[in-house]
């Protein structure tokens, strides 16, 4: 037996919901109102349930959109991750999956041999970040170089870097798989520099972190003359200023007591 169909929303109410752009509330309203009538809900409860429908609908639409713009390669999450199969110690996996390090703007480097699950693990972390209402962008060194290269062509590098750094977590996957060209090195440098202590960067690589900068450094040294001027680092080391000599502060006069 099928359950009785909820009566359609009165036309006037339907119109108001459209005008107010409340699509999720409008969709849930017939069922919620039918239940509220049958169970004699308090009017405040009806309002709460309807507005909650709208809020959760909007939140999941935002997450869907963020997942789309993040540009994930496979869509793999922790649901298909086997923690005991990984060489990353489980306490480390657990600590990283809290995402507290993203809140502290710390960076993550996952290094290891090919096929050991580096990309899967970081993508799972990135999905989890989106579930926690954070913004993520996913790059390979090549796609990062393309993005910055295009921006360079139309003179909008600063805007492109700012857009990337509007994300809470920036992933650069599979560094070291291909030789690093000067464009890629520059793009990586610009993002790392702009994100310094403001955003989290996660890097996966099949080369050891101690050798990670070597290729990039070698390229940059060769191009010393034509590399872009280095923007000042925000919040890096506060500049010392000489403050003007000050007169001794006048002492506050003792207050008179009125009895």
Ligand X SMILES: Nc1ncnc2c1ncn2[C@@H]1O[C@H](COP(=O)(O)OP(=O)(O)OP(=O)(O)O)[C@@H](O)[C@H]1O
Binding partner of residue 77 among ligand X, Mg ion, none, CB cut-off 5 to 8 Å per kind: none
If you ran DSSP here, which 8-state letter would residue 225 be given?
Answer: T
Q: What is the dihedral of CA 157, 160, 162, 168, to 10 degrees?
A: -140
Q: How far apart are CA 76 and CA 124, in angstroms?
A: 6
The answer to the question of residue 26 lying near ligand X (CB under 6 A) is no
In the complex, the residues that contact Mg ion under the rule CB under 5 A are 119, 174
Binding positions for ligand X, 60-89, rule CB under 6 A = 76, 80-82, 85-86
The answer to the question of residue 114 lying near ligand X (CB under 6 A) is yes
Contact 176, 206 (CB under 8 A): yes
Q: Which residue number is nearest to Mg ion in terms of Cβ? A: 119
Name the residue nearer to ligand X (CB basis): 36 or 145.
145
To ligand X, the closest distance from the beta carbon of 84 in angstroms equals 8
The answer to the question of residue 174 lying near ligand X (CB under 6 A) is yes
Q: Give the up-direction half-sphere exposure of residue 251: CA atoms within 13 A in the CB hemisphere.
A: 3
Contact 87, 134 (CB under 8 A): no
Q: Which residue number is nearest to ligand X in terms of Cβ? A: 117
To ligand X, the closest distance from the beta carbon of 156 in angstroms equals 31
Q: How far apart are CA 19 and CA 231, in angstroms?
A: 47
- What is the contact surface with ligand X in residues (CB under 6 A)? 76, 80-82, 85-86, 112, 114-120, 174, 204, 206
């Amino acid at each position: 037996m099928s359950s009785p169909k909820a009566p359609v929303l009165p036309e006037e109410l339907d119109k108001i919901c459209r005008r107010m752009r409340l699509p999720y509330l409008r969709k849930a309203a017939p069922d919620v109102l039918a239940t509220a009538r049958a169970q004699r809900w308090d009017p405040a409860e009806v309002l709460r349930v309807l507005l909650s429908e709208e809020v959760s609908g909007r939140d999941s639409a935002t997450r869907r959109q963020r997942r789309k713009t993040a540009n994930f390669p496979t869509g793999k999450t922790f649901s298909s991750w086997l923690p005991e199969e990984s060489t990353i110690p489980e306490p480390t996996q657990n600590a990283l999956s809290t995402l507290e390090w993203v809140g502290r703007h710390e960076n993550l480097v996952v290094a290891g041999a090919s096929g050991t699950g580096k990309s899967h693990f970081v993508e799972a972390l990135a999905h989890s970040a989106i579930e926690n209402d954070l913004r993520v962008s996913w790059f390979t060194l090549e796609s990062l170089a393309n993005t910055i290269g295009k921006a360079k062509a139309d003179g909008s590098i600063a805007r492109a870097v700012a857009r990337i750094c509007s994300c809470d977590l920036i992933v650069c996957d599979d560094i070291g798989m291909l030789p690093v060209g000067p464009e890629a090195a520059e793009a990586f440098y610009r993002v790392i520099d702009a994100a310094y202590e403001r955003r989290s960067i996660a890097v996966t690589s099949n080369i050891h972190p101690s050798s990670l900068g070597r290729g990039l450094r070698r390229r940059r040294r060769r191009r010393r003359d034509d590399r872009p001027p280095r923007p000042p680092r925000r919040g890096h080391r506060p500049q010392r200023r000489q403050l003007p000599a000050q007169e001794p502060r006048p002492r506050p006069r003792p207050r008179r007591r009125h009895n």
